[in-house]
């Protein structure tokens, strides 16, 4: 069926009810086009996504459900007639993937760490193309890591609660100026954290750094080849390692144990880059203040012992969630879909 490409880009909105979310559709009359379904969306992404949807004109129809409940059964029901999916933070099990593969041929994932959410090898075996998004949130995550560093050092949240409880006692803090920061993983995010830490006046050390001496000098970073030695001399340790087959469990228990008591520990990367159980065991000792945005199991179970660790700051994997990151992420997700239907490679993982 031929269709005039200069026709107005049409949309349709089905209002929310007491039991169903609002549904936003593009080109709903174009039944000749494949259907792309976004079963869930982070509320803050709705407006940015709509900005980019005209790129789908004459390429694909879209159906976006405007809620964010991340229920696997609901996800599968909403994706039942999809040819492709835009996945915003839904963990897709192999059982789900195998069922989806009977009709879904492409998945555009709204994030960098897609390997934590989808079995890439299994998707490849099933003939499902998986795309991610890259470098969309480098500044957002770097700023969040620095914010966590300040929170651990100055305990602003705890002081706020003291004030609300009519307690003027206050708390002593740790000055970051002149302290040693150890960065594990010096990609786009790690480099930004290094620059910010330099601005604070910290001494920055890193493992897995750029290979040239010019890069080290430009970033004012001292490279340390031995990870255990790196953390042993640190006052603050921040993880910025992507999750790949080569990095899974790359930080062993002996490195976690090498941190001195009182070392501030921050992870806004992926929990799985640390040897299973190593960080939990150290945190339960209660001798290192830590801030975590990522976990082995997400959402973090309500009975997790981490909730009972004094001084531990926990946030629900939100370091990437900012206005700037939303703009770039949503654009890339839509571009991934367009490239998929045009037979072009973009951010292809499988």
- pLDDT tier at 70, thresholds 50, 70, 90: confident
Measured in whole angstroms, how far is the alpha carbon of residue 336 from the centre of its chain? 18
Residue 292: which CATH number?
3.40.50.720
| pTM of the complete model beyond 0.75 | yes
pLDDT of 196-206, one tens digit each?
A: 999 999 999 99
| β pairing state of 23-26 and 61-65 | antiparallel
Helices 188-200 and 138-154 meet at what angle, rounded to 10?
40
Q: Do 262 and 336 sit in the same domain of this protein?
A: no
Is residue 211's pLDDT more than 70?
no
Which three-class secondary structure state does DSSP give residue 282? Answer: helix
Our count of domains for the chain comes to 2
Quickly list DSSP for 149-204.
HHHHHH-HHHHHHHHHTT----------TT-EEEEE--SHHHHHHHHHHHHHT-EE
Cα–Cα distance, 193 to 142 (Å, whole number) = 5
The tally of CA atoms less than 13 A away on the side-chain side of residue 160 is: 5
pLDDT of 153-177, one tens digit each?
A: 999 999 999 999 999 999 999 999 9
Q: Do 255 and 142 sit in the same domain of this protein?
A: yes
pLDDT of 249-305, one tens digit each?
A: 999 999 999 999 999 999 999 999 999 999 999 999 999 999 999 999 988 999 999
Catalytically active residues, by annotation: 270, 298, 317
Cα–Cα distance, 189 to 10 (Å, whole number) = 39
Query: What DSSP element (H or E) covers 323?
Result: helix 323-342
Q: Do 228 and 277 sit in the same domain of this protein?
A: yes
Q: Do 108 and 31 sit in the same domain of this protein?
A: yes
Contacts of 213 (CB under 8 A, 6+ apart): none
| Residue 229 is assigned to a structural domain of this protein | yes
Tokens of 150: 């300040």
| Residue 4 is assigned to a structural domain of this protein | no
Q: Do 19 and 150 sit in the same domain of this protein?
A: no
Residue 7: other Cβ atoms inside 10 A: 12
Measured in whole angstroms, how far is the alpha carbon of residue 79 from the centre of its chain? 23
User: Which residue is listed with tokens 């909730």?
Assistant: 307
Cα–Cα distance, 189 to 239 (Å, whole number) = 10
Q: In what order do the strands lie in the sheet with 236-239?
A: 221-223, 203-207, 180-184, 236-239, 264-267, 290-292, 313-314
| Residue 72 is assigned to a structural domain of this protein | yes
| Residue 278 is assigned to a structural domain of this protein | yes
List the end-to-end C-alpha distance of the chain, in Å, as a whole number: 30
If you average pLDDT over residues 130-148, what whole number do you get? 94
Q: Do 183 and 132 sit in the same domain of this protein?
A: no
Q: Do 292 and 145 sit in the same domain of this protein?
A: yes
Q: Do 225 and 334 sit in the same domain of this protein?
A: no
Q: In the beta sheet, which residues pair with residue 107?
A: 85, 130
Q: Do 167 and 73 sit in the same domain of this protein?
A: no
Q: Do 62 and 128 sit in the same domain of this protein?
A: yes
| Residue 187 is assigned to a structural domain of this protein | yes
If you average pLDDT over residues 13-33, what whole number do you get? 95
If you average pLDDT over residues 299-322, what whole number do you get? 94
CA distances from 273 to 226, 242, 288 (A): 17, 8, 19
| Residue 308 is assigned to a structural domain of this protein | yes
Cα–Cα distance, 98 to 337 (Å, whole number) = 20
User: Chain-wide mean pLDDT for the chain?
Assistant: 93
Lowest mean pLDDT: which of 4-13, 40-49, 233-242?
4-13
Burial class (CB in 10 A: 0-12, 13-18, 19+), 201: exposed
Q: Are 267 and 239 in contact (CB under 8 A)?
A: yes
Is residue 3's pLDDT more than 50?
no
Q: Do 35 and 129 sit in the same domain of this protein?
A: yes
Q: Do 85 and 174 sit in the same domain of this protein?
A: no
pLDDT at 349: 73
Q: What is the domain range of residue 50?
A: 11-136+323-342
| Residue 257 is assigned to a structural domain of this protein | yes
């Amino acid at each position: 069926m031929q269709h005039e490409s200069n026709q107005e880009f049409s949309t349709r909105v089905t209002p929310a009810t007491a039991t169903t979310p609002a549904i936003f559709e593009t080109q709903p009359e174009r039944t000749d086009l494949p259907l792309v379904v976004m079963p869930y969306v982070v509320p803050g992404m709705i407006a940015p996504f709509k900005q980019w949807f005209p790129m789908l004109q004459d390429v694909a129809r879209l159906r976006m459900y405007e809620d964010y409940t991340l229920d696997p059964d609901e996800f599968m029901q909403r994706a039942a007639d999809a040819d492709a999916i835009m996945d915003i933070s839904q963990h897709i099990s192999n059982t789900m993937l195998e069922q989806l593969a009977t009709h879904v041929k492409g998945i555009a994932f709204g994030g960098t760490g897609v390997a934590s959410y989808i079995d890439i090898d299994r998707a490849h075996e099933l003939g499902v193309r998986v795309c991610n998004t890259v470098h969309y949130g480098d500044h957002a995550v770097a700023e969040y890591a620095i914010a966590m560093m300040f929170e651990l050092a100055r305990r602003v949240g705890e002081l706020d609660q003291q004030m609300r409880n009519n307690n003027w006692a206050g708390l002593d803090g740790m000055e970051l100026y002149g302290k040693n920061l150890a960065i594990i993983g010096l990609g786009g995010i790690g480099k930004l954290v290094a620059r910010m830490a330099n601005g604070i006046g910290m001494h920055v050390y890193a493992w897995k750094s750029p290979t040239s001496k010019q890069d080290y000098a430009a970033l004012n970073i001292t490279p340390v080849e031995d990870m255990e030695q790196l953390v042993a001399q640190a006052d603050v340790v921040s993880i910025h390692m992507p999750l790949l087959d080569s990095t899974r469990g790359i930080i062993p228990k002996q490195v976690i144990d090498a941190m001195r008591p009182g070392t501030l520990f921050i992870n806004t990367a992926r929990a799985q880059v640390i040897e299973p159980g190593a960080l939990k065991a150290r945190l339960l000792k209660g001798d290192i203040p830590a801030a975590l945005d990522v976990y082995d199991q997400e959402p973090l179970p309500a009975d997790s012992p981490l909730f009972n660790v004094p001084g531990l700051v926990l946030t629900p994997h939100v370091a990437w969630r900012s206005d700037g990151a939303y703009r770039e992420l949503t654009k890339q997700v839509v571009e991934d879909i367009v490239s998929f239907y045009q037979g072009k490679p973009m951010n292809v993982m499988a």
